[in-house]
């Protein structure tokens, strides 16, 4: 049981690049070892040394667990046979305990943190279940799962065990999105939007663009169309608006193509009858602002044991994903979210 005033003890599952990425926000690390094994995380050191970016207080990386094969992106010395968890533990100065099972990881921690860089969420229900059954607040990195059925199952498991769960993309949390949305007043009412996303690595990438659209343009999507060579490459989100100025509602196009840059960057555009506004790039150099926002949500979630985002909003994102998949399979026909909501989990298409 956590004592008030003590740091939140974090148990990290899957020790990939995202585990390091988030860990560096709150846990002291050996810079040389970090850059050797996780060179993608150089942006943190840029922030700390050039922009005076500090660690978020009140958390401690206590345990790590990862039985999976070597992850893409972890750089190892020749002949290095250590596990992913052992590599991650080495770089952090507090030397988190390397665990042998999910049950072991979920003992003596206050927060279960499931990291995920490239795995598309297929095993998140399995990884989250032991901690949720013990009543532990749980964070699930993007994507929440690979399909809506598992998202529903995790939320129900959290409710059944009276413990909160949160899953979100950094793009949903980044304050740059809030700053941009606040500018809508300059051209209101906004009738069309475009989000430039990234899509060539699957759902783990496309979920960011869809999340940014949800963050900036809001929820309440009625129907979805999807097309493209890549899965969910061009997704049209239609939102009804009861306004004489927007008789046809609002359409947002999320483009998740092969294009990544600059620096894994995302951008929004909004249009109205009177003009347009464009966001600045939300990319590696300001992604940590979203990470800080996530940690602040997690702090409050652990302290209050209350959900920090409406479950309906987390579900809607994956109802959009399922609707887009069905639309693309059916030749880009519109698919209503109400029809996806009415589907039983066992009847949803195989993800």
Return the pLDDT at 48. Answer: 58
- What whole-number distance in Å separates Cα of residue 12 and Cα of residue 2? 17
Please name every residue paired with 193 in a beta bridge, in sequence order, or none if there are none.
252, 270
The predicted model gives 27-40 an average pLDDT of 90
Give me the pLDDT at residue 91, please.
94
pLDDT, residue 49, reads 54
Distance CA 46, CA 284 (A): 11
Q: Please, is 74 exposed, middle or buried when counting C-beta atoms within 10 Å of its C-beta (0-12, 13-18, 19+)?
A: buried
Name the most confidently modeled range: 189-198, 239-248, 285-294: 189-198
Q: In the chain, what percentage of residues exceed pLDDT 90?
A: 80
Find how far residue 238's CA is from the centre of its chain. Answer: 23
**Nearest-angstrom CA–CA distance, 208 and 217:** 14
* pLDDT at 56 (0 to 100): 92
Q: What is the CA radius of gyration of the chain?
A: 20
Asked whether residue 50 carries a pLDDT value surpassing 60, the answer given is no
Band the pLDDT of 100: cuts 50, 70, 90. very high
Which range has the worst mean pLDDT, 69-73, 109-113, 120-124, 201-205? 69-73
Amino acid 259: pLDDT: 82
**107 vs 258, residue with greater confidence:** 107
pLDDT of residue 185: 95
SS3 295: helix
Residue 48 exposure: Cα atoms within 13 Å on the Cβ side: 14
**Residue that wins the pLDDT comparison between 40 and 158:** 158
For residue 309, the model assigns a pLDDT of 97
pLDDT computed for residue 178 by the predictor: 97
158 backbone dihedrals φ, ψ, rounded to 5°: -65, -45
Average pLDDT over residues 256-263: 83
Angstrom distance (rounded) from CA 269 to CA 265:
14
pTM value?
0.95
Query: 84-91 and 17-26 are packed helices; what angle lies between their axes, rounded to 10 degrees?
Result: 20
pLDDT at 123: 96
User: How far is the C-alpha of 301 from the C-alpha of 164, rounded, in Å?
Assistant: 7
DSSP classification of residue 9: E
For residue 41, what pLDDT band results from cuts at 50, 70 and 90? confident
Strands (E), the chain: 8-13, 59-65, 97-98, 111-114, 138-140, 165-167, 192-198, 223-227, 234-239, 250-257, 267-271, 276-278, 335-336
- Does the pLDDT value for residue 53 go beyond 90? no
Q: What is the pLDDT of residue 197?
A: 93
Separation CA 62–CA 65 (nearest Å): 11
| pLDDT recorded at residue 45 | 64
Provide the pLDDT confidence category of residue 55 given band limits of 50, 70 and 90: confident
| 254 has pLDDT over 70 | yes
The 10s digit of each residue's pLDDT in 3-15 is 677 999 999 999 9
With CA atoms as reference, report the closest residue to 321 among 249, 254, 250, 243: 254
- Asked if pLDDT for residue 147 goes beyond 70, the answer is yes
- Checking if the pLDDT of 46 tops 70, the result is no
pLDDT tens for each residue of 196-209: 999 988 999 999 99
Helix 287-304 × helix 17-26 angle, to 10°: 70
Under the phi-then-psi rule, with left for phi > 0, alpha for psi from -120 to 50, and beta for the rest, what region is 286?
alpha
Domains along the sequence of the chain with CATH: 8-171+287-309 (3.40.50.720)
**Which residues lie below 8 Å from residue 7, measured CB to CB, with a gap of 6+?**
57, 58, 59, 60
pLDDT grade for 351, boundaries at 50, 70 and 90: low
Confidence of residue 38 (pLDDT cuts 50, 70, 90): very high
């Amino acid at each position: 049981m956590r004592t008030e005033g003590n740091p939140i003890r974090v148990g990290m599952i899957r020790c990939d690049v995202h585990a390091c990425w988030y860990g560096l926000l709150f846990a002291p690390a050996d810079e040389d070892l970090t850059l050797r094994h996780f060179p993608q995380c150089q942006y943190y050191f840029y922030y700390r040394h050039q922009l005076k970016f500090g660690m978020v207080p009140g958390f401690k990386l206590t345990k790590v667990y990862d039985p999976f094969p070597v992850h893409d992106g972890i750089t190892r010395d020749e002949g290095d046979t250590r596990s992913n968890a052992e590599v991650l533990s080495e770089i952090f100065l507090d030397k988190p305990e390397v665990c042998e099972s999910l049950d072991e990881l979920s003992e003596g921690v206050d927060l279960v943190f499931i990291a995920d860089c490239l795995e598309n969420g297929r095993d998140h229900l399995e990884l989250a279940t032991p901690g949720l059954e013990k009543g532990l607040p749980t964070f699930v990195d993007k994507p929440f799962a690979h399909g809506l059925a598992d998202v529903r199952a995790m939320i129900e498991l959290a409710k059944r065990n009276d413990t909160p769960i949160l899953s979100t993309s950094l793009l949903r949390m980044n304050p740059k999105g809030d700053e941009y949305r606040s500018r809508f007043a300059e051209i209101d009412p906004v009738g069309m939007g475009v989000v430039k996303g990234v899509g060539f690595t699957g759902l783990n990438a496309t979920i960011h663009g869809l999340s940014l659209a949800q963050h900036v343009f809001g929820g309440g999507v009625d129907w979805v169309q999807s097309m493209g060579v890549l899965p969910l490459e061009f997704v049209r989100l239609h939102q009804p608006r009861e306004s004489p100025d927007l008789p046809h509602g609002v359409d947002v196009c999320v483009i998740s193509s092969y294009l990544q840059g600059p620096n894994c960057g995302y951008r929004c555009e909004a249009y109205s009858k009177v003009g347009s506004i464009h966001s600045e790039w939300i990319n590696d150099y300001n992604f940590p602002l979203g990470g800080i926002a996530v940690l602040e949500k997690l702090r409050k979630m652990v302290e209050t044991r209350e959900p920090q985002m409406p479950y309906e909003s987390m579900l809607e994102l994956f109802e959009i994903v399922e609707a887009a998949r069905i639309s693309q399979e059916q030749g880009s026909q519109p698919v209503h979210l109400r029809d996806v909501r009415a589907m039983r989990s066992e009847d949803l298409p195989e993800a």
